[in-house]
Amino acid sequence: MTTAATAPEPPATTRPAAPLLEIRDLAVSFRREQGGFEPAVSHVSLTLHANQTLAVVGESGSGKSVTALSVLRLLPESHSRYDKGSIILTPGDAPQDVLTLGRRALARVRGRHAAMIFQEPMTSLNPVYSIGDQIIEAITLHTDLDHAQARRRAADALTEVGIRDAASRLDDYPHQFSGGMRQRVMIAMALACQPRILLADEPTTALDVTVQAQILALLRQLQRSRGMGVLLITHALGVVAEQADAVCVMYAGRVVEFGPVRDLFENPLHPYTRGLLRSIPRIRERRERLVTVRDVVDDPSQFAPVGPADAPLVPWWPAHRPPAGHTPVPGPAGDSALVEIAPRRWLCVWRTTSVRPRMLTQPAVPPTQR
């Protein structure tokens, strides 16, 4: 068991090769109307390797999208501030920190090294241009292809995402496509320049279930055939279980838990992760009403601290009411830190003054359920 130093090491999950994307201790804040800044995410660290799908789960407002948008620095510049941390992309040999890139270098990274697809396929295509124009624009932004070559490549990209008769459909406008087809077009557009990283911000939320399954299968197939790293933002834990290799659980602007998908589902360490998994309705159970995360979250103050006796750790939780004998104090990185608590398992913790080390995996009090 290791405790992180003041600058926490990036959590490494599975593969020893240099990760495609490495976010280290990122903190972003938004400008408030009244003046000053409101922190949106803080202490976010994660890694994404080639050939890997990393799912980021969490409720609305937990900072998933802010994290994904930060990777391409897409947050509105006048209203946001990158307070600290770094976002290292290693598409080739040379790692570059997105947060220190100049405008031109940033434009070269966007779409070329990392591309993004969005939640609403209905509104993420420009209604006034044919989809061919839009894919060709994405291609010519990053290559020297002439129009005819770019058009051929656009047709190939459409074929690759499973749109039949691609060459003639290039001249169709977005309103002539269904939602699922539009999301395929978005994927074709994003992948037209062969990026190594694909950021998918809830790509299937706006689609119905059968189409969701098709789009997810398509993403998985493309990820495998190209060896891409996919950062998949989602609400659906079912999608995570099927699709992802690693999971990053976010809550209140922090990564609270991070680890391989099987380990994390079988043995969730953080109270929020446990609540999240428990709130999934099961077919066999009859209930008057569905449980919410907050109904079933374990009281974090009941978690016994772990770690060395002089610096025991408890899971980080906002508005933590410590039990008798525990006084949470700021952790190694200021107020909380992401710590590798077991091999390849990272957990957001606080230091406490408690001196009773116990196994973290056992909550002191069984969860109350209604």
Partner 1 sequence: MRTPASRLALAWIVLITLVAAFAPLLASSRPLSLAIDAAGPRHSPLLESLDPLDWTLALAAPLLIGWCLLGGPRRVAGRAALASLLLALGVGAASIVQGLTPRPPEVFGDETRAAHLDLAPRWTLVPFSPAERSTDAPDSFLPPGTRTVTATLSAILPAAPELSDSASLSPERLAQLTQSLRSLPLTPSERDALERDLAARITPGAALTHSDLRAIVEHHTAALGRVHILGTDARGHDVASHLIHGCRVAVSVGIIAAAISTIIGVSVGAAAGFMGGAADALLSRVIDAFASIPVLFVLVIAAGVLPRQPHVIMAVIGCLTWTGCARLTRAAVIAVRSSEYVLAARAAGAGPFARVTRHVLPNALAPVIIDVSFSLAAAIVIESGLSFLGLTDPGSPSWGSLLASAVKDTGSPVWWLAFAPGLVLFLTCLSYNTLGEALRDTLDPRSRRHA
Note the residues at the interface with partner 1 (CB under 8 A): 72, 74, 78, 103, 107-112, 115-120, 123-129, 137-138, 141-142, 186, 189-190
Q: Specify the residue for token string 């998933």.
A: 64
- CB 188, min distance to partner 1, A: 12
Pick 186 or 349: Cβ nearer partner 1: 186
- CB 122, min distance to partner 1, A: 9
344 CA to centre of own chain: 17
- For the record, the structure tokens of 269 come out as 């360490």
Q: Report DSSP state, residue 128.
A: T
Pick 110 or 274: Cβ nearer partner 1: 110
How buried is 190 (Cβ within 10 angstroms: 0-12 exposed, 13-18 middle, 19+ buried)? buried
Q: Is 22 helix (H, G, I), strand (E, B) or coil?
A: strand
How buried is 356 (Cβ within 10 angstroms: 0-12 exposed, 13-18 middle, 19+ buried)? exposed
**Residue 38 pairs with which residues in a beta bridge?**
30
Pick 192 or 338: Cβ nearer partner 1: 192
- For the record, the structure tokens of 252 come out as 């209140």
Contact call for residues 64 and 258 (beta carbons, < 8 A)? no
Pick 16 or 76: Cβ nearer partner 1: 76
108 CA to centre of own chain: 22
Pick 75 or 277: Cβ nearer partner 1: 75
- CB 115, min distance to partner 1, A: 7
Type and span of the H or E element at 71: helix 64-71
Pick 47 or 119: Cβ nearer partner 1: 119
Nearest to 296 by CA among 281, 285, 312, 306: 281
Total H helices, total E strands in the chain: 11, 14
* CA–CA dist 40, 77 (Å, integer): 14
Pick 60 or 78: Cβ nearer partner 1: 78
Pick 17 or 107: Cβ nearer partner 1: 107
- Quick one: angle between helices 179-191 and 131-142, nearest 10? 20
- CB 20, min distance to partner 1, A: 17
CB neighbours of 339 closer than 8 A, spacing ≥ 6?
2, 3, 4, 8, 313, 331, 332, 346, 347, 348, 349
Pick 42 or 183: Cβ nearer partner 1: 183
- CB 221, min distance to partner 1, A: 22
Contact call for residues 344 and 260 (beta carbons, < 8 A)? yes
